[in-house]
């Protein structure tokens, strides 16, 4: 299942979002355009749905409360609203629709509350809050049904899907020095600190199958790499990855992950995540620390690994190189453009100038990335 459509209102620096989404979706835009905020919208839904330590109040509190999350440009409209549509593919009929409105009490404790919560299954509405019970006992509206096992049984698939969504912004140093730093692991491990533990927890068979796929992919990106394997310290039992490189020096031997380059480590982490689940994967700027040759391979790699499983991937990026593959469709790229009343989000295939450039043989990167340079005054005119 994938998110096929997103509708949102007053979410951080967006006044309004209304876009279709594909299996592989790239989010581009200048600095502070809201790429991370866009991804955070899905993390927010995941944080509500989470079975452990989840819920609306916590998800909002972790983000500084309604005043931080609601768009500063919202002014008179006090409501934050999010609606996602879920389906098997972008072109098949919707399976689910989930819509949530959030407001904050005008006085007293100023608690956030659910202004509405609605669910449709196969086009038929199966939830419509506030209902009679909510009206009798308004405190019920401080929780969504999505977060309550006892209340979401008629739409459990949505809760499961959101719970399994993963956000990854892998920081190689944290992974490499996990033993030394022994730091607190951030909730849900977005920085990949316990990545090796995750690899260790899978069964031998699954692990071997995944590492083989990653090894094949890595050989394209890191030509000297010959083999990749999982091991454990004989004394401490700590999990490790090892790679065998071919060098001019014979018997150069196996290297452990603390000797891998940042790019190799990040790539292994990204690829593993792609293979790990079948729910939404949110990747933050995967191009960081990869050289441009490898970055150019990234989009086709995602498509190749997605083929059997269709794990949806939403990728924020700054990189023109990441979008040079000819196979990237204009529908797969969302352009964020900051405007005075909030950031505007468009699917680039809807921009006529971009369409003509694509038809003339330009890559999406060439056609779109110049528009993310903020000093270019023609950028706004293009969107008219």
Ligand X SMILES: Nc1ncnc2c1ncn2[C@@H]1O[C@H](COP(=O)(O)OP(=O)(O)O)[C@@H](O)[C@H]1O
* Binding-site ranges for ligand X (CB under 6 A): 12-13, 29, 31-37, 68-72
Name which of 214 and 280 has its Cβ closer to Mg ion. Answer: 280
- In 7-124, which residue ranges form alpha helices assigned H by DSSP? 35-49, 56-61, 66-69
β-bridge mates for residue 128, sequence order:
118
Name which of 218 and 347 has its Cβ closer to ligand X. Answer: 347
Shortest Cβ 33–ligand X spacing (Å): 4
Shortest Cβ 10–ligand X spacing (Å): 8
Pairing of β 124-129 and β 281-284:
unpaired
Calculate the CA 27 to chain-centre distance: 10
Whole-angstrom CA distances from 240 to 189, 198, 207, 216, 234 are: 18, 11, 13, 19, 11
Name which of 39 and 225 has its Cβ closer to Mg ion. Answer: 39
CA distance 231 to 44: 36
* Token pair belonging to 168: 């990854």
**For residue 209, what is the DSSP state?**
H
Shortest Cβ 70–ligand X spacing (Å): 6
Shortest Cβ 62–ligand X spacing (Å): 14
Name which of 77 and 157 has its Cβ closer to ligand X. Answer: 77
Pick from 36, 57, 255, 379 the residue near Mg ion by CB under 5 A.
36
What is the size of the binding site for Mg ion (CB under 5 A)? Answer: 2
Q: Is 13 in the site for Mg ion (CB under 5 A)?
A: no
Residue nearest Mg ion by beta-carbon distance: 36
Name which of 9 and 35 has its Cβ closer to Mg ion. Answer: 35
Using CB under 5 A as the binding rule, the residues of this chain from 92 to 131 that contact Mg ion are none
By a kind-dependent CB cut-off of 5 to 8 A, residue 57 interacts, out of ligand X, Mg ion, none, with none
Provide, for the chain, the percentages of residues in helix, strand and coil under a 3-state DSSP scheme, each rounded to the nearest 5.
40, 25, 35
With beta carbons less than 8 A apart as the criterion, state whether 277 and 309 touch: no
Name which of 73 and 111 has its Cβ closer to ligand X. Answer: 73
Shortest Cβ 36–ligand X spacing (Å): 3
CA distance 316 to 27: 5
The residues that touch Mg ion, with contacts defined as CB under 5 A, are 35-36
């Amino acid at each position: 299942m994938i998110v096929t459509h997103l509708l949102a209102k007053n979410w951080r620096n967006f006044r309004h979002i209304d876009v279709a989404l594909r299996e592989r979706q790239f989010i581009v835009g200048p600095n502070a355009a809201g790429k991370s905020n866009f991804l955070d919208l899905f993390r927010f839904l995941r944080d509500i749905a989470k079975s452990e330590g989840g819920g609306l109040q916590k998800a909002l509190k972790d983000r500084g409360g309604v005043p931080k999350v609601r768009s500063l440009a919202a002014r008179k409209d006090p409501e934050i609203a999010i609606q996602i549509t879920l389906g098997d593919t972008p072109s098949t009929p919707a399976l689910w629709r989930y819509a949530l409105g959030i407001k904050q009490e005008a006085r007293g404790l100023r608690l956030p509350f659910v202004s509405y919560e609605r669910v449709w299954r196969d086009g038929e509405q199966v939830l419509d809050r506030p209902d009679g019970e909510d009206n009798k006992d308004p405190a019920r509206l401080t929780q969504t049904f999505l977060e309550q096992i006892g209340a979401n049984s008629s739409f459990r698939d949505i809760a499961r899907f959101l719970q399994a969504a993963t956000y990854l912004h892998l920081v190689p140093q944290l992974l490499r020095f996990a033993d030394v730093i022994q730091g607190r692991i951030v909730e849900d491990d977005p920085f990949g600190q316990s990545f090796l533990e995750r690899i260790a927890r899978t069964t031998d068979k699954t692990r071997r199958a995944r590492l083989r796929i990653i090894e094949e992919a890595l050989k394209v990106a890191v030509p000297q790499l010959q083999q990749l394997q999982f091991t454990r310290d004989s004394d401490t039992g700590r999990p490790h990855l090892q790679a065998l490189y071919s060098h001019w020096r014979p018997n150069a031997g196996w290297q452990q992950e603390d000797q891998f380059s940042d790019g190799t480590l990040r790539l292994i982490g990204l690829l593993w995540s792609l293979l790990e689940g079948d729910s939404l994967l949110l990747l933050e700027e995967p191009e960081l620390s990869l050289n441009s040759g490898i970055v150019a391979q990234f989009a086709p790699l995602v498509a190749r690994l997605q083929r059997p499983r269709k794990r949806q991937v939403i990728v924020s990026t700054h990189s023109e190189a990441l979008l040079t593959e000819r196979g990237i469709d204009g529908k797969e790229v969302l352009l964020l453009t900051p405007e005075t009343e909030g950031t505007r989000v468009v699917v680039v295939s809807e921009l006529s100038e971009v369409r003509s450039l694509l038809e003339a043989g330009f890559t999406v990167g060439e056609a779109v990335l110049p528009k993310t340079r903020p000093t270019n005054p023609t950028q706004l005119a293009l969107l008219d």
